[in-house]
C-alpha cells in the first residue's frame, strides 16, 4: 500500500492554521494539527477555541501534546482522530469517555525514550499509534534514526494498527521510516518550508516508495 503523507501544522494563530490547510487542498486527505499547552511540552499553539468551522474536505487528526488530554478532547466535537501521549495519560478511561462523547476516534503517541511496553494496556482501544521521530515540542528537529527499531517492534506487535511517524520526516528519512513499518508519514517543515507544498508532499511520498521498493544490497541472488 502506498504510504500516506500527512501535512502537520504547528502554529500559534488560527489565521496561520487556515492558511496552511488551504495550501494543501487537493494534495492531502488528512491534516495533522499539533496542540501544545506549554506544560506537557515547552511550547504553546492553537487550541480548541480555534477549531470551530475548520474547512471541510479533510480528515483531521488532533495531536494532543497536553496535560489532562481528556479535558481538551471534550471541547472538539466530530468524527476526528484524537491522539494523546501515553506519557500524559493519568486516567485512560476518562480519555476514552471524552472521545466517545464527542464522537471521535482514539490514537496514542509515544515519545522517543518511552519504553514501548507502556502502550500494551491501551493498544486494544486505539486505531493508530504515532511514533515520535523527535522529542515533542518544536518543528524542524532532526530525525532520530533509533526510532526505526521502535516502529518495527510496534508493527510486529500490532499489525492491524496504523503506525504513523511524526517528526523529522523529509525525503531523506521518509524511506527509512516506511521501510521500518510506518503506514503514515507526518511532515511539517519539510512541506510548509517549501514554496510548493503539493510538490513537497509528492517528493516525500516518492522517496518513501523508492526506498521501500529498492532491492536490498545485502540480498544474495
Active site residues: 34, 166
Q: How many CA atoms lie less than 13 Å away from 183 in the CB half-sphere?
A: 14
Of 50, 48, 41, give the one whose Cα is nearest residue 18.
50
> Contact, 201 vs 181, CB < 8 A?
no
> What is the SS3 string spanning 107-174?
EEEECCCCCHHHHCCCHHHCCEEEEECCCCCCCCCCCCCCHHHHHHHHHHHCCCCEEEEECCCCHHHH
C-alpha cell, 93: 478511561
Quote the CA–CA distance of 221 and 204 in Å, as a whole number: 30
C-alpha cell, 25: 487542498
> Contact, 197 vs 8, CB < 8 A?
no
Amino acid at each position: 500500500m502506498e504510504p500516506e503523507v500527512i501535512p502537520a501544522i504547528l502554529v500559534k494563530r488560527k489565521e496561520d492554521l487556515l492558511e496552511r490547510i488551504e495550501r494543501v487542498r487537493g494534495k492531502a486527505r488528512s491534516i495533522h494539527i499539533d496542540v501544545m499547552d506549554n506544560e506537557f511540552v515547552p511550547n504553546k499553539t492553537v487550541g480548541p477555541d480555534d477549531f470551530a468551522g475548520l474547512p471541510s474536505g479533510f480528515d483531521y487528526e488532533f495531536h494532543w501534546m497536553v496535560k489532562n488530554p481528556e479535558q481538551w478532547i471534550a471541547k472538539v466535537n466530530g468524527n476526528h482522530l484524537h491522539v494523546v501521549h501515553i506519557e500524559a495519560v493519568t486516567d485512560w478511561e476518562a480519555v476514552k469517555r471524552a472521545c466517545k462523547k464527542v464522537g471521535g476516534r482514539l490514537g496514542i503517541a509515544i515519545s522517543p525514550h518511552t519504553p514501548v511496553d507502556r502502550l500494551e494496556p491501551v493498544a486494544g482501544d486505539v486505531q493508530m499509534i504515532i511514533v515520535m521521530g523527535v522529542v515533542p515540542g518544536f518543528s524542524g528537529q532532526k530525525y532520530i534514526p533509533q526510532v526505526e527499531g521502535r516502529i518495527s517492534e510496534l508493527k510486529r506487535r500490532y499489525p492491524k494498527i496504523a503506525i504513523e511517524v511524526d517528526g523529522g520526516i523529509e525525503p531523506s528519512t521518509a524511506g527509512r521510516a516506511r521501510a521500518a513499518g510506518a503506514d503514515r508519514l507526518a511532515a511539517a517543515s519539510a512541506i510548509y518550508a517549501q514554496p510548493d507544498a503539493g510538490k513537497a508532499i509528492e517528493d516525500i511520498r516518492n522517496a518513501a516508495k523508492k526506498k521501500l521498493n529498492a532491492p536490498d544490497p545485502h540480498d544474495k541472488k
